[in-house]
Amino acid sequence: MSFTMNKNLNIILLILFLSMTFINTQTIDKVSSYPYAIASIELSPNPIVYGQNMSVKVQFDCNSNVSVAKLYLFKITEDMICLCDYVYISMHEIPTLIRCPTSVRYEGNYTVDFPVGMQIGFRIQIYYDNATIAYVPNLENFMGLPTIEPINNEIMFDAGKVQNGTNSMNLNFLYALTSVLVVSIILVKRRKSKLN
């Protein structure tokens, strides 16, 4: 009897772990390409959520010769006529995903305090060792990521509209609760059928 209970508990824990892993992997936007020695750009969560931390990570290839990366978040409104309404975020170096001594990876974090429903765009400024400075994105759908163009010739990555934090948290809780209920119902039905 105790062996069956332990087995059932292990199954429940496994399902809960897989549910939480599935929920977390659904919030990451990641692409891979090779312009400007960029291997990948990640935005998480996607969509961004009011009151929660958002993260932008940039992985550079080997021999990219990058010295600094900076992140700019823009509030997009219908009457936006200049790029003056932005938030600057310095990016810091974090452990790289590529195994070579010259590859670097940068991350910028920001606690989202923009109004719920506001459209947000972002750009990345990259400084290379040879004194070159690049801004990305510089064309539509750069590296396959969605872009927006609120102003002529000023393309940005699309971070989406700010979501209400309570709705997102409630949705994740609902997924986890549903998983537990389904597993519990299955186990109760199995137990009843074994008793009969």
pLDDT at 57 over 90: yes
Which tokens hold the place of 83?
Answer: 């790029």
State the CATH architecture for 33-163: Sandwich (2.60)
To the nearest whole number, what is the mean pLDDT of the chain?
A: 79
pLDDT at 79 over 60: yes
Average pLDDT rounded to a whole number, residues 34-57: 91
Query: What gap in Å lies between CA 35 and CA 123, rounded to an integer?
Result: 15
* pLDDT score recorded for residue 38: 93
Which carries the bigger pLDDT value, residue 159 or residue 79? 159
Q: Which of 92, 78, 89, 135 has the alpha carbon at shortest distance from 112?
A: 89
Query: What gap in Å lies between CA 58 and CA 182, rounded to an integer?
Result: 39
Lowest mean pLDDT among 25-34, 41-50, 69-78, 130-139: 25-34
pLDDT at 176 over 70: no
Spell out the domain ranges in the chain. 2-23+168-195, 33-163
* pLDDT score recorded for residue 7: 67
Lowest mean pLDDT among 27-31, 70-74, 130-134: 27-31
- Output the CA torsion sign for 164, 169, 175, 178: negative
* pLDDT score recorded for residue 23: 45
Please write the tens of the pLDDT for every residue from 7-19.
666 666 566 555 5
Lowest mean pLDDT among 13-22, 64-73, 74-83, 169-178: 13-22
Query: What gap in Å lies between CA 99 and CA 97, rounded to an integer?
Result: 7
Please write the tens of the pLDDT for every residue from 110-157.
999 999 999 999 999 999 998 889 999 988 889 989 998 876 668 899
* pLDDT score recorded for residue 28: 41
* pLDDT score recorded for residue 9: 63
Which tokens hold the place of 175?
Answer: 């997924």
